[in-house]
């Protein structure tokens, strides 16, 4: 009989397919005890696969695509992991503006730093539009009742749109502020965001991030992948996995070149839809679980074209949401120069998610396409099924990724899902006093 995951051999052979933060976290933890092989489709490890080296004179800056930031309060595992790895982080100002492509500024705020807090306040430019006062007043009401609403039992079954409609908030507040902001954060369409569980979005907002400082890794994803991949025995970049199939001795993995190898365990740290395609002998329960997670595709540009930023330079903020009537999602443009301190002030470098206008091709440094999971009632139910599958004592195929843990599918969810799989395979966190297998209710950590 095959050994159970409660009685593992000290040096099992384990394959991790995919090297985003989920796969790398899992590989790092598993590598404390086992022989780990990482398979990655891209020519470089996944977290760093779309980054671009920007040369300005004698200085070269590695710019992450997409841009990655985090809050300690919503990303506790990730923050502890970075600290353990000795990865330096720095606080950045992530204030925002909201305007139309037609040239109308609705709302703009900046952050005032007071000791360890960031206090948001409206800018003078942001006060010029009458709707800004309505948005500001509704924001005070919204955040004032947030804790009470999070504790309400009725919230459990409400979508975000249902919640907003029952709270008497103005259309301006949610159509020109809240929905654009969170469509950008969740990287999804307005339609999908409206169907998000209200508790997931409110949990994010209620975690304390309103006054928490936003941080980024100083040296970018390249430093993260170097440290997290260090425990792997073998890293196979540029290697597509064609299929995995369980047999009497373990799990056979076959790559796109036809090379087959049997592992004791395989961790599928890829998107749910990709995992379903790779898993040749998926059970009906596995197929049902993986099929429940939906994905949406979007484009990210790295460029120098200011036409994708607010029309007036006075409206420019580190993060800018631009709206157009009838669009499926906002356009979000980040000014990278104030965020990457090694970048010179000029030329201005932008990163734009979901471009609503065609940029000047001569000013585009890179174009990347990503698929992101969206959260709805079906995906929440699927998470319960995933937990049940991972509790099977003879399990040899495991699943992790941003989709595979509660909350908005961001870096923390991905890292948490990878840590949970590693814990199932007898590899806990290498620092004292923290366990990864915590359930995050309402987007927070219990």
3-state secondary structure of 327: coil
Rounded to an integer, what distance in angstroms lies between the CA atom of residue 170 and that of residue 138? 7
CB of 45 closer than 8 Å to CB of 225: yes
Consecutive H or E run containing 55: strand 52-56
Taking the C-alpha atoms of residue 171 and residue 292, their distance in angstroms, rounded to an integer, is 31
Report pLDDT for 56: 83
pLDDT at residue 429 in the model:
94
Residues of the chain with pLDDT under 50: 1-4, 6, 434, 436-446
Place of tokens 């937990």: 387
Tell me which DSSP letter residue 406 carries: S
Q: Judge residue 297's burial from the number of C-beta atoms within 10 Å of its C-beta, 0-12 exposed, 13-18 middle, 19 or more buried.
A: exposed
Tokens standing for residue 27: 């590989």
Q: Which residue has the tokens 């979000």?
A: 332
Q: Give the domains, in start order, of the chain with CATH numbers.
A: 13-48+217-292+377-443 (3.50.50.60), 95-212+306-358 (no CATH)
Structure tokens at 42: 């891209």
CA nearest 389: which of 263, 272, 278, 248? Answer: 272
Contacts of 303 (CB under 8 A, 6+ apart): 349, 350, 351, 352, 359, 360, 363, 364, 365
Q: Quick one: how far is CA 86 from the chain centroid?
A: 21
CA distance 104 to 126: 11
- C-alpha distances (whole Å) from 407 to each of 273, 367, 402 are 19, 28, 9
One-character DSSP codes across 184-209: HHHT--HHHHHTSBHHHHHHHHTTTT
Question: Residue 257 to residues 219, 241, 242: CA-CA distances in angstroms?
Answer: 35, 9, 8
Rg value, the chain, Cα: 22
The pTM for the full model equals 0.91
Answer yes or no: are the C-beta atoms of 292 and 71 closer than 8 Å: no
Residue 23's pLDDT is 98
Q: Which two tokens stand for residue 292?
A: 């429940």
């Amino acid at each position: 009989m095959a050994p159970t995951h409660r009685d593992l051999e000290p040096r099992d052979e384990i394959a991790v397919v995919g090297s985003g933060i989920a796969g790398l976290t899992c590989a790092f933890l598993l590598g404390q005890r086992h022989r780990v092989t990482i398979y990655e489709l891209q020519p470089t490890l996944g977290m760093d696969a779309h980054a671009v080296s920007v040369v300005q004179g004698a200085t070269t800056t590695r710019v992450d695509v997409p841009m990655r930031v985090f809050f300690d309060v919503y990303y506790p595992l990730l923050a502890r992991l970075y600290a353990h790895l000795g990865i330096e982080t720095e606080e950045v100002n992530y204030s925002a503006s909201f305007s139309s492509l037609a040239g109308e500024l609705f709302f703009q705020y900046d952050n005032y730093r007071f000791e360890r807090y960031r206090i948001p306040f409206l800018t003078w430019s942001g006060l010029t539009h009458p709707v800004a006062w309505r948005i500001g007043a509704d924001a005070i009401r919204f955040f004032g009742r947030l804790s009470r609403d999070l504790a309400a039992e009725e919230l459990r079954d409400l979508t975000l749109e249902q919640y907003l409609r029952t709270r008497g908030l103005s259309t301006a507040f949610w159509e020109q502020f809240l929905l654009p902001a969170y469509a950008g954060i969740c990287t999804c369409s307005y339609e999908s965001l409206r169907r998000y569980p209200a508790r997931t979005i409110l949990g994010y907002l209620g975690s304390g991030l309103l006054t928490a400082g936003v941080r980024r890794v100083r040296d970018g994803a390249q430093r993260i992948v170097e440290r997290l991949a260090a425990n792997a025995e073998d890293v196979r970049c540029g290697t597509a996995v064609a299929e995995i199939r369980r047999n009497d001795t373990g799990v056979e993995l076959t790559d796109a070149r036809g090379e087959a190898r049997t592992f004791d365990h395989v961790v599928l740290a890829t998107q749910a839809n990709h995992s379903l395609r790779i898993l040749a002998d998926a059970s009906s329960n596995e197929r049902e679980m993986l099929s429940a997670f939906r994905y949406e595709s979007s484009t990210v540009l790295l460029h120098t074209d200011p036409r994708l930023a607010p029309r007036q330079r006075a409206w420019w903020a580190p993060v800018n949401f631009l709206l157009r009537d009838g669009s499926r999602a906002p356009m979000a443009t980040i000014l990278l120069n104030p965020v990457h301190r090694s970048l010179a002030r000029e030329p201005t470098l932008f990163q734009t998610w979901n471009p609503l206008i065609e940029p000047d091709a001569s000013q585009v440094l890179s174009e990347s396409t990503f698929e992101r999971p969206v959260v709805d009632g079906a995906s929440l139910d699927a998470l319960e099924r995933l937990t049940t599958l991972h509790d099977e004592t003879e399990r040899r195929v495991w699943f992790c990724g941003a989709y595979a843990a509660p909350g908005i599918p961001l870096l923390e969810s991905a890292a948490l899902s990878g840590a949970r799989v590693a814990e199932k395979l007898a590899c806990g966190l290498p620092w004292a006093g923290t366990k990864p297998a915590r359930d995050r209710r309402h987007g927070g950590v219990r």
